[in-house]
Amino acid sequence: MDRSDLFARYDEELRTDDYADVDASPNGLQVGSDEGTVEHVAFAVDAAVATAERAVAVGADVLVTHHGFVWGGLDRVTGREYERIVPLARNDVSLYVSHLPLDGHQTLGNAAGVGDVLDLHERDPFGALGPEYVGQRGRLADPTSIYDLTARLDDALDTGGRGVRLVDAGPEQVEDVAVVTGSGVDWLDEAVDVGADVLVTGEGKQKVYHEAQEAEINVVLAGHYATETFGVQALQERAEEWGLETTYIDEPTGL
């Protein structure tokens, strides 16, 4: 397959261009060329020296990640920025990035993956960011203890041994679940407004404890990395359907 064809397929499915004005990450091809062919694609949550070197080691032509190297512009390619790009450039490995488009995709995205773990029904987009969404909302099949829901996520996600944390400020029996993976506590007010019993996200901020208590909503912190493995793995499945060899590179942060 041509590299340009692979990137175009992902861009179309993820609606990459629609997120251009709301995402600090330049999504799509971020490093390298769209010329030439691709036979082997590596997938990882984070673009980093470690994942770039592992992509080179397995013979990948393309590395696809959720978090890229560039955030809001790149003034100089020196120091750490240079060291990150060198393994890719020297070995002609292109870096394709999908940040918010992969968070918000309602079937392939990270929030959708968490929704699958919880077997959510009646799903709708959640987590408004301008005209787009970065999360998902749904209902459990039956009301469930917030402690059982937290335990289910703890069993299903690789949190690096740190465990899923709960701010149990809402009802003990929960049914309506809002999900924004990664750093999603900024959508707590929206979760309250739509009547969610719990907001599931990755990591929290100090203020979310008091905000949750005051709003009487539960907040589950399941790990930034752990909640954002789903999207790249879904893209990996797509690549395999297209006949490409793939490798998933797991570099958990425990955060």
| Percent of the chain with pLDDT strictly greater than 70 | 100
Per-residue model confidence (pLDDT) at position 23: 96
Residues 217, 221, 224, 225: is their CA dihedral positive or negative?
negative
Same domain, 34 and 82: yes
Same domain, 92 and 109: no
255 belongs to a structural domain = no
Residue recorded with tokens 């905000």: 211
pLDDT in tens, 2-36: 999 999 999 999 999 999 999 999 999 999 999 99
Same domain, 93 and 81: yes
Same domain, 119 and 214: yes
29 belongs to a structural domain = yes
152 belongs to a structural domain = yes
Task: Single out the residue of 143, 138, 103 nearest to residue 123, CA to CA.
Answer: 138
27 belongs to a structural domain = yes
pTM for this one? 0.96
22 belongs to a structural domain = yes
Same domain, 35 and 84: yes
Mean pLDDT of the chain: 96
Same domain, 236 and 219: no
Ranges of beta strands (E only) in 98-193 are 121-129, 132-145, 165-167, 173-179
The response to whether 228 counts as a known ligand-binding position is yes
Give the alpha-carbon dihedral of 99, 103, 108, 111, to 10 degrees: 150
Per-residue model confidence (pLDDT) at position 215: 97
Same domain, 134 and 187: yes
- Does the pLDDT value for residue 162 go beyond 90? no
pLDDT in tens, 37-54: 999 999 999 999 999 999
Residue pair 204/221 in contact (Cβ under 8 Å)? The answer is yes
Residues 149, 155, 156, 158: is their CA dihedral positive or negative?
positive
Sheet of 40-46: strand order equals 28-31, 94-97, 62-67, 40-46, 245-248
Same domain, 48 and 111: no
Same domain, 55 and 147: no
The response to whether 224 counts as a known ligand-binding position is yes
Our CA angle for 24, 2, 96, nearest 5°, is 20
52 vs 129: CA distance, rounded Å: 30
Residues 42, 234, 202, 29: is their CA dihedral positive or negative?
positive
Same domain, 215 and 127: yes
253 vs 255: CA distance, rounded Å: 5
pLDDT in tens, 104-145: 999 999 999 999 999 999 999 999 999 999 999 999 999 999
Lowest mean pLDDT among 14-18, 54-58, 74-78: 74-78
236 vs 66: CA distance, rounded Å: 12
49 belongs to a structural domain = yes
Same domain, 124 and 234: no
103 vs 180: CA distance, rounded Å: 8
**Residue 141 belongs to a domain with what CATH number?**
3.40.1390.30
The response to whether 67 counts as a known ligand-binding position is yes
Distances 250 to 8, 101, 102, 213 between C-alpha atoms, Å: 25, 21, 18, 35
14 belongs to a structural domain = yes
253 belongs to a structural domain = no
- For residue 42, what are the domain limits? 3-99+229-248
Q: How far is C-alpha 37 from the chain's CA centre? A: 27
Total structural domains within the chain: 2
Same domain, 81 and 112: no
Residues 58, 62, 65, 69: is their CA dihedral positive or negative?
positive
